[in-house]
Structure 1
Amino acid sequence: MGAFDTLRIASSSLGAHQTWLDTLASNIANVNTVTSTDQDAFQAQMLIMRESQGGGVEVAGIAVSDPAGRLVSDPSNPLADADGYVRAPEMDLSSQMTQLVMAQRGFQAAAQVTKDAQETYGSALQIGRA
């Protein structure tokens, strides 16, 4: 492991967690978005991550939920069909919020590793100057 591998790995983690936070923000913002039954529902995004070539992590892709979503009875909604149904996304807020907490904690941990590594490298440089 090279001298700056810790920073590179932590940086890749920061980027991946930031992307995860962004996708969760979009999902949470659209959790109650409904459409008419003849349109696709909002498709929740889920990250696919993998280990990067030199260590660390990278976003390998983004999977999306089923566009069919789920039918919800809401006869008072102006988008409701003749039977009173609208199409809602196939996701729930509690799952998205749980993932949000995990993504935030991962981001915070990577930020702390970055800070600690910078301090360690700075101390090493100070020792070398003495």
Structure 2
Amino acid sequence: MGAFDTLRIAGSSLGVHQTWLDTLAHNIANVNTARSTDQDAFQAQMLITSSRAGGGVEVSGLAKSDPEGRMVHNPSHPLADENGYVRMPEIDMSSQMSQLIMAQRGYQASVQTTKNAQENYASALQIGRA
């Protein structure tokens, strides 16, 4: 492993975790997005990641949840059909919150790894100067 591989790998992890956090925030912000029954429900997004050759990770795609969503009886909603139904996204809030915690912790771990690598490289440079 080269001298700067740790920084490169931690940097790729930071990028993936930031994208994961953004995706979760988007899903959570749209958990109550109602649509008319003739439209698709809001589709939650999920990251697809893969490892890079030589180390690190990357976002290789996005998967989306079922566009059918769930039908909710809410006759007072302006988008309700003649039977009083609207289409809501099929998003499990507890799962989203659990993933949010995992993404935050992964991001924090990547930041700490980056800091540790920078400190180690700085120490090695000091030793080299002495």
Query: What is the TM-score normalised by the length of structure 1?
Result: 0.98
Distance 1:109 1:46 in 2: 21
Structure 1 counterpart of 2:60: 60
Give the whole-Å Cα distance in 2 for the aligned partners of 1:54 and 1:73: 52
Q: How many residues align?
A: 130
Q: Deviations over 1:79-119 (max 9, x none)?
A: 11111110011112111111100000000000000000000
Q: Structure 1 stretch 66-75 or stretch 5-14: which is displaced more?
A: 66-75
Root-mean-square deviation over aligned CA pairs:
0.7
Divergent runs of 4+, >2 A? none
2:106 aligns with 106
Matched letter for residue 99 of structure 1:
Q
Partner secondary structure for residue 59 of structure 1: strand
Matching residue's letter, 2:113: V
Separation of aligned partners in 1, 2:52 and 2:12: 9
Partners of 1:86 and 1:95 in 2: CA distance: 23
Gaps of 5+ in 1: none
Please list every run of 5 or more consecutive structure 2 residues that lacks an aligned counterpart in the other structure.
none
Q: Where does 1:1-130 land on structure 2 (aligned, <5 Å)?
A: 1-130=1-130
Secondary structure of residue in 2 paired with 1:71: strand
C-alpha distance in 1 between matches for 2:53 and 2:67: 33
| Deviation for aligned residue 1:30 | 0.1
Q: Percent identity?
A: 75
Q: TM-score, normalised by structure 2?
A: 0.98
